[in-house]
Amino acid sequence: MIHIKSFVFNAFQENTYILYDETKQGIIIDPGCQMHAERGILDNFIEKEEIQLVHLLNTHCHLDHVFGNLYFQKNYDLKLAIHQADVPVLASCSSLAKMYNLAPYDESTADIFLEEGQQITFGNTILEILHLPGHAPGHVAFINHAEKFIIGGDVIFKGSIGRTDFPMCNHEDLMNSIKNKLFLLPDDYVIYTGHGQPTTIGVEKISNPFLK
């Protein structure tokens, strides 16, 4: 059984996820922990649950999702894995943090590049990578078919969709990613989103006002 623990961090109310299974191996996705206290919350949870983290993953590299990348690279000896198309997005975070006066921000760089169809494994768990550009050029989702869930980042939310008014976004790409890729998954798959509460494929197909 896979445990999915979410934490809401930073001024953007971003969802950071730790996943682990019965083996106690686990992964962290989108560490948005900006402040020392937020990082301490994660440290305490990892220690309490005796989790051995083996992967550090970004669904995409907008600033609110990457504040804690370097912390986990250094303190947990993890390699950062992103889609190659998001390299310029990650590189832009330092200037954005200065522009918005968001300190501290510790700049990170990718160690590993993810590709669609690739599998991420930890313990007895397999996640499949799906490339869903639009909100960011290298946006990916992590899908577990055995337990029917998606760690979806900012592609789609409960009753909404990811923004496309940022640099390097593309609305047409986002709509294609949702309608022609994400929505090919079964209706009962749960989507754990980058902000807000989880939803399902089926609910968003019939009720999301941005997809009518």
CATH class of 3-211: alpha beta
In the sheet that holds 149-153, the strands lie side by side as: 119-122, 125-131, 140-144, 149-153, 190-193, 199-200
The reply to whether the predicted model has a pTM over 0.75 is yes
Q: What is the pLDDT of residue 105?
A: 87
Q: What pLDDT digit, counting tens, does each position of 55-73 carry? A: 999 999 999 999 999 999 9
Domains of the chain, residue spans: 3-211
Structure tokens at 35: 């402040």
CA 188 to chain centre: 20
